[in-house]
Amino acid sequence: MAEMELWFTEQQTPDLGFTCKITKTIYTAKTQYQDLAILETKQFGRMLVLDGAVQTTIADEFCYHELISHVPLFTHPNPKKVAVIGGGDGGVIREILKHDEVEKAYLIEIDKEVIEASKKYLPEISCALDDKRAEVIITDGIKFVSENKNMFDVIIVDSTDPVGPAVGLFQDSFYKAVFECLKEDGLFVAQTESPFYDQDLIKNVFHAVKSIFPITRLYLGFIPTYPSGLWSFTLGSKKYDPLEVDISRIKRIDTRYYNPELHKALFALPTFVQEII
Ligand code: AG3
């Protein structure tokens, strides 16, 4: 008899599914905040799924983690203290710690079970969480940024989609708190979903950030397992403009997506994306 095939589908929109063949369900849990699954997929290797949405896979995590980390860290001339809001898998922390001038990287994650499952089942991604320069704080990111002022050079918001526990991470009041939490020349980046499917969200976030930060920029990258593949990031900065970076001074670090030539090119937007903002 033929072997039974198992398939996982993320319902990316009410009318579209993204389906992968899975060879094993490694782990599932209902945490205090969300449904968590670690799946072994044939195409992308291990995959972290939260509330039915693909968060990261071994094969394409570098695209997202490098894009959300190195653009802000190479825009700030001397990032010493960096915070990640969300990102419990640890992929952003791993990228941040490739920068020698970073003294401390804080992971502010609401759901400790995401960290625990990632440490156990996704060591390639979570490996830097035990680094001396990394510190994990289990708390609500909204509470954390509103209670800390003038503290960070860079804040990276690595959230889930704007549903459930992450809704507040896409609101004006959160961006105001992020502004206050940054030092006087600080900057931040947030993942802001797909320009194909989330145009209203991108527009709202862009204008909210623009009303608070002197410099606001949108950039794009390609992440194969996310809805449409095309993904947006919104950067708000008090002083440094990513488009003014002297790219000849960017140090070569070990990356597979980001490189100095891409740094400014990522901000060149297709016409339909220019029209969103
Ligand atoms: N955070 C952004 C995931 C968004 C994916 N959305 C979806 N599949 N519908 C990823 C966390 C990785 N550190």
Task: Return the pLDDT at 241.
Answer: 98
- Are 134 and 12 within one domain? no
Residue at 1 is within a domain: no
Task: Return the pLDDT at 271.
Answer: 98
Q: Which of 60, 111, 158, 161 is catalytic?
A: 158
- Are 30 and 152 within one domain? no
The answer to whether the CB of 196 falls within 8 A of the CB of 228 is: yes
- Are 135 and 46 within one domain? no
- Are 10 and 135 within one domain? no
Q: Is 242 in the pocket of ligand 1 (CB under 6 A)?
A: no
The residue whose CA is least distant from atom 11 of ligand 1 is 55
Task: Return the pLDDT at 165.
Answer: 83
Q: Is 53 in the pocket of ligand 1 (CB under 6 A)?
A: yes
Distance, CA of 94 to chain centre = 12
- Are 209 and 263 within one domain? yes
Task: Verify whether residue 158 is a known catalytic residue.
Answer: yes
- Distance, CA of 148 to CA of 252 (rounded, Å): 33
Q: What is the mean pLDDT of residues 33-54?
A: 98
| Domain range enclosing 37 | 6-57
Q: Is 90 in the pocket of ligand 1 (CB under 6 A)?
A: no
Count structural domains, the chain.
Answer: 2
pLDDT tens, position by position, 13-42: 999 999 999 999 999 999 999 999 999 999
Among the atoms of ligand 1, which is closest to the Cα of residue 65? Answer: 13
- Are 33 and 129 within one domain? no
- Are 240 and 134 within one domain? yes
- Are 102 and 68 within one domain? yes
CATH number at residue 46: 2.30.140.10
- Are 25 and 95 within one domain? no
- Are 26 and 91 within one domain? no
Res 51 pLDDT > 80: yes
Residue at 89 is within a domain: yes
Residue 248 has φ and ψ, to the nearest 5°, of -70, -15
- Are 253 and 222 within one domain? yes
Residue length of the chain = 277
pLDDT tens, position by position, 75-118: 999 999 999 999 999 999 999 999 999 999 999 999 999 999 99
- Are 90 and 182 within one domain? yes
Res 54 pLDDT > 90: yes
Predicted ipTM? Answer: 0.99
- Cβ count near 229 (within 10 Å): 15
pLDDT band at 3; cut points 50, 70, 90 = confident
Q: Is 232 in the pocket of ligand 1 (CB under 6 A)?
A: no
Task: Return the pLDDT at 164.
Answer: 85
Quote the ligand 1 centre to 6 CA distance (angstroms).
22
pLDDT band at 268; cut points 50, 70, 90 = very high
Task: Return the pLDDT at 234.
Answer: 98
